[in-house]
Amino acid sequence: MRRSAFLLALLAAGCAHRPPAPPVASAPAAPVAPPIPVAPGHSIDLAAMDRSVSPGTDFFLYANGGWYAKAEIPPDRAFAGVWQRTIDQVEQWNRELLTEAAKGADPSLEKIGDYYAAYLDTQTIEKRGLDPLRPTLAAIAKVAGKKALAALLGSQLRADVDALNNTNFHTDHVLGLWVEQDLNDPSRATGYLLQGGLGMPDRSYYLDPSAPMEAHRKAYEKHLTALFRLAGLSKPEARAAHAYDLELQLARTHSTRADSEDVSKGNNPWPRREFGARAPGMDWGAFFGAASLAGQDSFIVWHPGAVAGLAKLVRSVPLSTWKDYLTARAIDHFSKELPKAFVDEHFAFYGTDLQGTPALPARWKLALRATNDALGEAVGKAYVARHFPPETKKAVEKMVADLVTAFGRRIDALGWMTPATKAKAKEKLATLKVCVGYPDHWIDYGGLSVARDDAFGNFERAELFEYRRNLAKLGKPVDHGEWAMLPQEVDAVNLPIRNALDFPAAILIPPFFDPSWTAAANYGNTGATIGHEISHSFDDQGSKFDAQGRYRSWWTPEDLSHFEAAGAALAAQFSAYRPFPDVAIDGRQTLSENIADLAGLDVAYDAWLASLGGAPAPTQDGFSGPQQLFLSYAQGWQEKRRDADLRRALASDGHAPAHWRALTVRNMDPWYPAFDVKPGEPLYLAPAKRVAVW
């Protein structure tokens, strides 16, 4: 959705860019929060505003300054705001659901209840200590040669690349597998191989010479040392140095974020028989055999440099160094399923150092997230039965239809787009599949074994279940009814390769949507989200996929040139914003999302006007219809972040920070008369300087 990560451009556009969820430790159960209050008759959060700030000076603070001045970031969070409040509410609802399921009264919920209960059983986890991990550590220690190393690496391959939330294009293992529609053949699913193996978020954390990154590197080396020490292994400092050095070498082979987002650089079909020549040094037969992929005749290698670099390192790096590295990665990977000392250490680095979060959240939150990861659609099915009424689904589907119609009208009205490109755009719009609330059918988890007293084993089995579920799709027609998100996720996503959008039930609640609100407020918030996602199907990346999801550009060179010129102007606009004196927003890095924000708000405004049917827009609390729409949009970006987390996002995220995304309004002509913004005010743009894309 608007907080999206256009991951791999094809896999998931417009999904949430939330910071990684911090690990959690045991804590007393907190009282269940009541539902988010909605004041009857009010669509705008009046108390959040700061009317002492001129809208033309800082529209974010005008809409949110009252809240921002008083907001405190919880000690177990990296940020606070409207998104976090909604996530908290959904978590509380799901906590109630899973607590009931864990009591065993409903047999249909037994599996999710047992998974949740096992995570909460910290007494058993502490009692077993490191024992559940010892077979994995022993397997690493027993590796006797490079062929055996290749087999071990292959056996660890998992479908654990988070295509929706992982904005850094790597997996915890040395390579990640993603099974999705083939870029070049929409009739079948294929396997994508992605770079992986880094313990820090991105290659820049290893290679950027700046002082903050150097501090993170030092903290990470201490973290690695602590892992070896906690595991009772000898020479922890030396082993940590070996592990870090290998990660550094892996990081040097990784693609940058910009290159990872470039489909033309990622679309690299490799026949299985050519891996030895294209990436020499790895015994690929042993690797793919151990990964249960011996029968797969080809892959799309999204990061060829990283795959070739990995193979080279397998050949050149001593086996003892590989063992130290793999031991560290294994301990880190399973740390949340181990005793509290491991959880604490994991949080000290990933929560406090990387995100600036000082305190651990409650244990139940980790149990909830783990259950969602393992049995997400089983939880989602129960969630929508309780919290997503049919009338909300119908209201949102009506809004979707209005927005699709409005987008089509904007395409028709484009003076710069040639008739040939318009025809292709309208064809793609006509076949766009928009899914609201939840999938048409649910994943069957019957093959996943869950034990009420085995949190570690449940996690291992769930990873393997998901991997095998994905392997079963290879070479078969793509199921376009399968969702890429969970109904209980506060998020939304565009899938260009499927020409589809998913809007989960959890994002369609206050403070984002309420059927009782004015149309202006709903279109300004959720309407802009839907418009944002629709636009991703037609932007600089979406234009590379046709109506069937085939990787094939349907723009003329002249149209693309015009689009790129408008994008350059928007990139320059955002690059001028400086969240810190020493760091500016990277307008190029955030361009796709900034274009989608602007397009989404444009189409939401048009659809709202059309929804009035020529009638005057009702005022509310003294605000006109246009004012309500723009305020609702800006209040959807209500957020306050810790400095460390904001710096992390500026370095590696494809989204501009929320404060500056709210300023998208300055490119829209109707915003100026709505708030009487005049020349000379900081946000004023002369009409010729206002960026217009769609």
Nearest residue to 507 (alpha-carbon basis) of 105, 85, 143, 202: 85
When pLDDT is cut at 50, 70 and 90, the band that residue 498 belongs to is confident
The residue written with tokens 């793609």 in the block is 428
Task: Judge if pTM exceeds 0.95.
Answer: no
The percent of residues in the chain predicted with pLDDT above 70, rounded, is: 92
CATH (one of 3.40.50.150, 3.40.250.10, 3.90.1150.10, 3.40.390.10) for 52-77+389-442+483-689: 3.40.390.10
Residue 322, SS3 per DSSP: helix
Which whole number is the average pLDDT over 160-165?
Answer: 47
Cα 138–Cα 141–Cα 147 angle in degrees, nearest 5:
115
Residue 509, SS3 per DSSP: coil
When pLDDT is cut at 50, 70 and 90, the band that residue 392 belongs to is very high
Both structure tokens of 262: 């470039």
Looking at residue 41, its pLDDT comes to 52
φ/ψ (deg, to 5) at 487: -60, -30
**What length does the chain have?**
694
Give Cα 187 distance to the centre of its chain: 27
When pLDDT is cut at 50, 70 and 90, the band that residue 543 belongs to is confident
Nearest residue to 339 (alpha-carbon basis) of 350, 330, 331: 331
Nearest residue to 528 (alpha-carbon basis) of 542, 512, 515: 512
Residue type, 266: G
The answer to whether 597 touches 534, Cβ cutoff 8 Å, is no
> Rounded to whole angstroms, how far apart are CA atoms 195 and 257?
12
Which of the two residues, 43 and 224, has the higher pLDDT score?
Answer: 224
Mean pLDDT, the chain, rounded, equals 90
Q: Is the pLDDT of residue 593 over 70?
A: yes
Q: What is the dihedral of CA 552, 555, 557, 558, to 10 degrees?
A: 180
> Rounded to whole angstroms, how far apart are CA atoms 690 and 661?
15
Q: Is the pLDDT of residue 469 over 60?
A: yes
The sign of the torsion formed by the CA atoms of 92, 98, 101, 103 equals: negative
Q: Angle, nearest 10°, between helix axes 211-230 and 319-333?
A: 90
Which whole number is the average pLDDT over 561-572?
Answer: 91
When pLDDT is cut at 50, 70 and 90, the band that residue 635 belongs to is very high
Alpha-carbon radius of gyration of the chain = 25
> Rounded to whole angstroms, how far apart are CA atoms 62 and 50?
5
Asked if domains 52-77+389-442+483-689 and 130-337 share a fold, the reply is no
> Rounded to whole angstroms, how far apart are CA atoms 159 and 179?
8
Looking at residue 283, its pLDDT comes to 98
Q: Kindly list the domain boundaries of the chain, sorted by start residue.
A: 52-77+389-442+483-689, 130-337
Which whole number is the average pLDDT over 350-367?
Answer: 90
When pLDDT is cut at 50, 70 and 90, the band that residue 160 belongs to is low
When pLDDT is cut at 50, 70 and 90, the band that residue 574 belongs to is very high
> Rounded to whole angstroms, how far apart are CA atoms 250 and 188?
32
Query: Which range among 2-6, 328-332, 368-372, 464-468 shows the weakest confidence by mean pLDDT?
Result: 2-6
CATH (one of 1.10.1380.10, 3.30.420.40, 2.60.40.420, 1.10.3720.10) for 130-337: 1.10.1380.10
